[in-house]
Structure 1
Amino acid sequence: MSGDWVPDGHDFALCLTHDVDRPYKTYQSLFYAVSRRDPSQLLDLAPGRRPYWTFPDLLSFEREQGVRSAFYVLDEQSLFRDRPPREWFTREGWQLYAGRYDIEDEPIRDLLAQLRAGGWEVGLHGSYEAVDDRAMLHEEKRHLESVLGESVVGGRQHYLRLERPATWEHYRAIGLDYDTTLGDPYEYGFTDGYQPFRPFDDEFVVFPLTVMESALPDPGEAFDRAWAALESLLSEAAANRAVMTVLWHPRHFSRDHPGYDRLYRRLVTTALERDAWVGPPGELYALQESTAVTADD
């Protein structure tokens, strides 16, 4: 199997991914109103306001650029419905389980249908508790596929939680082809290599995560520094014919996270200008597999 994952005619590859954690702003309004001394944050609690629902602008931008990305969808437990009462008043309980969404809700169903019809990839965002629970992962995948109406081929674990190699063994066993969890929420770079790799020497593939947006310098305060970090990664990717995988959470396209929208747009347009292949991991995986089959013939 070829070790070069970059499609012919391109200098490197850029895989675009988004973890759909919290598409609705809930308790964050109160938190930011207090922590940032910004009472206007409370206006986001008004009916009909959905500041974290950034999908229309994000999809419009990617469509204009002629690229697609992967959206990893979370089927997480609810704090008050699924978790024990002792967690209702803990910071960890609110951080992990409050403000989540139900993939059965009509807006989520409509979003998934739009993604599917438009050529975007939808994958599994394995829940916090499922990192080493094959049965839970299998049920989350089954549930997502039942709503989506088609199979999913890859995903990433919530909070980048990873048990090596157990999580990958679970992914492979439940029928997933790849995982993109391997990475660091606080650091960025090609620390796990320049190419996807096969931990079991078979069809299952790991796409190392090169950078998550929050690991960069805050572009709202130091945009030039944040862009310099990304530009350096792009240059390193081109110099090593690498696959660069990035994670941008949809809520980082909202006003609560200034600069990240602009940074993402510049990342994508610059990669295209530098002759990168740009798209979702699932598509790159399919291209690699088709190339391998052709070579074997």
Structure 2
Amino acid sequence: MIIIKLPTNNIPERKYIIDVIFNEFLGLHYKIEIENIKNYEILLENGKKLIFEDSFFNKFKKDLDYLKLKNISEKITYSKKENNIFLVEDNLPIIYGKNRILMNKNEIICGIDIFASSFFMLTRWEEYVNKVRDKHNRFPSYASLAYKYNFLDRPVVNEYVEMLWNMLKFLGINQERKKREFELVLTHDVDFVYKYASLKSGLREIIGDIVKRKNIKLAYSNIINKLKFHLDLIKDPFDTFDYLMDISEKNNTKSYFFLHSSTASKYDIDNNKFLKKIADKIQNRGHFLGYHPSYNSYNNEGLFRKDKEKIEKIINQELKFGRQHFLRFEVPTTWQIWEDNNMEWDSTLSYADKEGFRCGVCYPSSVFNILSRKKLKLKEKPLIIMEGSFTTYQQNITPQKMEQKIFELINKVRKYNGEFVFLWHNSSFNTLNWLKFQYIYEKVLKK
């Protein structure tokens, strides 16, 4: 068994990141010992040693002292592959630590503090101390360290883990690592079950097409489609559930549908009268139902619980996973709300305005409440791509550019045998805005 020796301060934080990396990601057996030392010391069964210099937590002797804006790295340096044989990419962003490797056949000393760097990405404490927010009170991508230093499109925590594993192999570890396979996780936030749910529905959009967007062609198209639907000539444009399940089954996978229904804010949609019908259809075909909590529930436990119980009563099923509406999220409040409601996994963590690796990883992992200093049972499956991140926030993007970026990120996840969590709303089809993009969804599944 590997022995991992830790310094005597910030123990819950250190234990959390050690367990995620060694147990959850690599599947290795280890034992922790706390000693009066300066660095992380990893002792293998054969007597060889791997040392990671502590460049972060040893600076903070009092609990939670690290939680200050000034403690976010002000400059990112890189370790180059020509100087570090253990890297899997040409260079490695160093969030905390120094670009230094000393080695012989019995010992490696690494200046890159992969534990503090991984803790920074996975716990999102950056978002707790950095108060920049968008109009929906969300932490935006452009405020993040990963965006500023151009590594948001890299699963940097996975890169740290691979470097660690290569070091352990060099020193002759006698354990096998956990086996993983690439997985495509298809998710659909059901904001709108139907576009034309009533005679009044859709009218606001049509007025907006004319007055706000000044797009007469789009308004005309919506008027014609609304009339055709109410005359039973066409299916509702947002009723794509059979299509989504058909294409998933054709490609030997299942879809996750996250159900939403609330009237708590102007950003919520009352889908109550349609949920049972849609839920039965999804369940009967063996696909999965999850929860899409209302707009203001991300920091309101009572609202989260109330809406969850209402939906569960309608569909007669307990919901154990899902994603927050509008990707609204607050560290660590939202995770604790999910934990307190016995949820198994959340998949909120992508930036609404930018695709990529908000948590720096493409593996699911246990989450950590930075204030209570406790590892939670809840897992986070980081969302890698939401289709709306392209079309809503990158106004001039072409379908070709969107497709190219999606496949670049898929290939990065595939390299680490991770989970590519992909969000495409059931309502992102069959409208003029989406016609030129919607082919991408099926192309992703086929490839």
Normalising by the smaller structure, the TM-score range is 0.7 to 0.9
TM-superposed CA distance for 1:10, in Å, is 6.3
Question: Counterpart of 1:186 in structure 2: which amino acid?
Answer: D
Structure with greater helix percent: 1
1:145-224 to 2 correspondence within 5 Å?
145-192=312-359, 193-200=361-368, 201-216=375-390, 222-224=398-400
What is aligned with 2:251? 65
1:248–1:116: structure 2 CA closer, same or farther, 3 Å change rule?
Answer: same
Residue 29 of structure 1 pairs with residue 29 of structure 2 = no
Aligned match of 1:226 in 402, 420, 429? 402
CA distance in 1, matches of 2:342, 2:397: 43
Question: Counterpart of 2:189 in structure 1: which amino acid?
Answer: D
Higher relative contact order (CA 8 A, sep 6+): 1
What is aligned with 2:226? 45
Tell me if structure 1 keeps the 8 A contact 2:384–2:421: yes
What is aligned with 2:260? 74
Aligned match of 2:422 in 225, 228, 246? 246
TM-superposed CA distance for 1:208, in Å, is 1.1
Indicate the larger mover: 154-163 or 135-144: 135-144
Residues 36-68 of structure 1 show CA distances to partners (whole Å, capped at 9, x for unaligned) of: 221232123322462222222222222222211
1:259–1:220: structure 2 CA closer, same or farther, 3 Å change rule?
Answer: farther
Residue 54 of structure 1 pairs with residue 222 of structure 2 = no
1:17–1:220: structure 2 CA closer, same or farther, 3 Å change rule?
Answer: farther
Tell me if structure 1 keeps the 8 A contact 2:182–2:419: yes
Structure 1, unaligned stretches of length 5 or more?
84-92, 271-297
TM-superposed CA distance for 1:228, in Å, is 0.8
3-state SS in 1 of match to 2:363:
coil
Residues 155-183 of structure 1 show CA distances to partners (whole Å, capped at 9, x for unaligned) of: 11110000111111111111111111111
Aligned CA-pair RMSD: 2.4
Tell me if structure 1 keeps the 8 A contact 2:364–2:380: yes
What is aligned with 2:24? 2
Q: Which has the larger radius of gyration?
A: 2
Identical aligned residues as a percent: 21
3-state SS in 2 of match to 1:203:
strand
Structure 2, unaligned stretches of length 5 or more?
1-22, 28-177, 196-201, 369-374
CA distance in 2, matches of 1:144, 1:137: 11
Structure with greater strand percent: 2
What is aligned with 1:134? 301
TM-superposed CA distance for 1:12, in Å, is 1.5
1:44-123 to 2 correspondence within 5 Å?
44-46=225-227, 47=230, 48=232, 50-77=236-263, 93=266, 96-97=267-268, 100-103=269-272, 105=273, 107-123=274-290
3-state SS in 1 of match to 2:357:
coil
Aligned length: 249
3-state SS in 2 of match to 1:265:
helix
Please give the TM-score of this superposition, normalised by the length of structure 2: 0.52
Residues 238-266 of structure 1 show CA distances to partners (whole Å, capped at 9, x for unaligned) of: 11222221111111122331133311111
1:112–1:123: structure 2 CA closer, same or farther, 3 Å change rule?
Answer: same
Question: Counterpart of 2:254 in structure 1: which amino acid?
Answer: R
3-state SS in 1 of match to 2:377:
coil
CA distance in 1, matches of 2:26, 2:205: 43
CA distance in 1, matches of 2:221, 2:210: 7
3-state SS in 2 of match to 1:198:
strand
Question: Counterpart of 2:437 in structure 1: which amino acid?
Answer: Y
Indicate the larger mover: 185-194 or 32-41: 32-41
